[in-house]
Amino acid sequence: MAGSLDQLRELVASGKAVTGIIGQGYVGLPLAVEFARSGFRTIGFDISSAVVDGINAGNSHVEDVSGEVLGGFVKKGLITATTDFSRLAECDAISICVPTPLNKTKDPDLSYVVSAAEAVRRTLRPGQLIILESTTYPGTTREVVLPILEQSGLVVGKDFTLCFSPERVDPGNPTWQTRNTPKVIGGITPICGELGLALYRKVFDTMVPVESPEAAELVKVYENTFRLINIALVNELAQACDRLGLDVWGVIDAAATKPFGFMKFTPGPGLGGHCIPLDPHYLSWKMRTLSFKTRMIELASEINAEMPAYVVRKVSDALNDRETSLKGSKVLILGVAYKKNIGDLRESPALDIIRLLQEKGAKVSYHDPYVPMIEDDGHTPLKELPMRSVPLTDQQLQTVDLALIVTDHKDVDYGRVLSLAPLVVDTRGVIRTNGNGKLVGLSGTPSASFVA
Q: Which amino acid is at 249?
A: W
Per the CB < 8 A criterion, the answer to whether 7 and 16 are in contact is no
**Domain holding 353: CATH number?**
3.40.50.720
Helix, strand and coil in the chain, % to nearest 5: 40, 15, 45
**Residue 278 zone, left/alpha/beta (φ > 0; ψ -120 to 50; rest):** alpha
CA distances from residue 16 to 41, 67, 198, 347 in whole angstroms, order as listed:
8, 25, 13, 40
**405 in Cβ contact with 200 (< 8 Å):** no
Q: Looking at the structure, tell me whether residues 10 and 116 fall in a common domain.
A: yes
Same-domain check for residues 201 and 315? no
Query: Using CB atoms within 10 A of its CB, is residue 295 exposed (0-12), middle (13-18) or buried (19+)?
Result: exposed
Q: Which of 167, 189, 220 is the last residue of a domain?
A: 220
Residues 208 and 328 in one domain: no
Same domain, 193 and 329: no
Is there a single domain that holds both residue 52 and residue 175? yes
DSSP 144: I
447 domain-assigned: no
Q: Has residue 408 been placed in a domain?
A: yes
CA 53-121-127 angle, to 5 degrees, is 95
Give the per-residue pLDDT at 245.
92
Residue 292 within any structural domain of the chain? no
- Among 198, 220, 242, which residue terminates a domain? 220
pLDDT value, residue 446: 62
Same domain, 201 and 338: no
Distance CA 381, CA 118 (A): 33
User: How does DSSP assign 313-346, residue by residue?
Assistant: HHHHHHHHHTT--STT-EEEEE--SSSTTS---T
Q: Give me the active site residues, please.
A: 275
Helices marked H in 256-388: 279-288, 295-305, 307-321, 349-359
85, part of any domain: yes
Asked whether residue 258 is domain-assigned, the answer is no
Among candidate residues 175, 205, 220, the one where a domain is terminated: 220
* Residue 104 belongs to some domain of the structure: yes
Say yes or no: 208 and 317 in one domain.
no
Supply the range of the domain harboring residue 387.
306-441
Q: Do 310 and 210 belong to one domain?
A: no
- Strand partners for 22: 45, 96
Please tell me the total count of domains within the chain: 2
- Asked whether residue 56 is domain-assigned, the answer is yes
Q: What's the pLDDT score for residue 383?
A: 76
Residues 84 and 185 both lie in one domain: yes
Those residues whose C-beta lies under 8 Å from the C-beta of residue 29, and which sit 6 or more positions away, are 44, 55, 60, 61, 62, 65, 70
Q: Does any domain span residue 237?
A: no
129 closest CA partner among 34, 223, 198, 205: 198
Q: What is the pLDDT along the chain (452 residues), one digit of tens a residue?
A: 777 999 999 999 999 999 999 999 999 999 999 999 999 999 999 999 999 999 999 999 998 899 999 999 999 999 999 999 999 999 999 999 999 988 877 788 999 999 999 999 999 999 999 999 999 999 999 999 999 999 999 999 999 999 999 999 888 888 999 999 999 999 999 999 999 999 999 999 999 999 999 999 999 999 999 999 999 999 999 999 999 999 999 999 999 999 999 999 999 999 888 788 888 999 999 999 999 999 999 999 999 999 999 999 999 999 999 999 999 999 999 999 999 999 989 889 999 999 999 999 999 999 999 999 998 877 777 878 899 999 999 999 999 999 999 999 998 999 999 999 999 999 999 998 877 789 999 987 665 443 44
CA distance 161 to 299: 39
Same domain, yes or no: 56 and 165? yes
Whether residue 310 is found in the same domain as residue 169: no
Does 314 lie in the same domain as 215? no
